[in-house]
Amino acid sequence: MNLYFRMLMLWLRNRRAPRTGVWDTVTTPFRVAPSDLDVLLHMNNGKYLTIMDLGRVDLMQRSGMWEGLNERGWYPVVAGQTITYRRSLKLGQRFDLRTRVVGFDDRWIFLEQTFLVGEVVHARAAVRARFLKRRGGSVEHDELEGLVGGFPEHLELPDWMVEWAENTRIAR
């Protein structure tokens, strides 16, 4: 239920929020809610992943990409993610989630999502995602490039992300 409330609040906020580019870093503010806590009274590990969904939606909505995806009948799916936790988030604590596209390969889009209190990193995650078509099949690289108006030259996928994607692939 908490996710739906946060999604509604995000949608309402984004109706007035300034537009951003899909290649920009988007900062999404949050506060740790009682329903986010585990038995040790800090934010549950799984909640980080749920909140990361909202950060990616924020990036897609504010950049206008969400509308383009819906018009084409495409939708994003997460294929893999890894997260490192550095510091706990406690009840009532305000934090920001920064989301940015890191790069692409011929099949995947890679993102970085960072949880911060002020400028102090509490957790950082890498996400590997792709886009699927509601009628079936995957969105091809050139189709996605057409949607976003081309891929910038400055995005270069770090070697460790390429290795991570290869090492975590599940054989068919």
pLDDT tens, per residue, the chain with 172 residues: 468 888 888 888 888 888 999 999 999 999 999 999 999 999 999 999 999 999 999 999 999 999 999 999 999 999 999 999 999 999 999 999 999 999 988 889 999 999 999 999 999 999 999 999 999 999 998 999 999 988 888 888 999 999 999 998 887 6
Assigned token pair, 64? 């206008």
Extract the tokens encoding 28.
């999404």
Cα–Cα distance measured from residue 124 to residue 88, given in angstroms and rounded to the nearest whole number: 12
**Helix-strand-coil split of the chain, %, nearest 5:** 35, 35, 30
Q: Is the dihedral of CA 78, 123, 163, 146 positive or negative?
A: positive
- pLDDT value of position 172: 67
**What are the extents of the domains in the chain?**
2-167
* Structural fold of domain 2-167: Thiol Ester Dehydrase; Chain A (3.10.129)
The SS3 call for residue 141 is: helix
Distance CA 57, CA 141 (A): 20
Please say whether the beta carbons of 30 and 99 come within 8 A: no
Strands (E), the chain: 26-31, 74-85, 94-104, 109-117, 120-133
Reading the block at residue 128, the tokens are 């590997």
| pLDDT for the residue 131 | 96
C-alpha 135/C-alpha 158 separation (Å) is: 33
- Separation CA 102–CA 106 (nearest Å): 14
Query: How high is the pLDDT of residue 13?
Result: 87
Single-letter code of the amino acid located at 14:
N
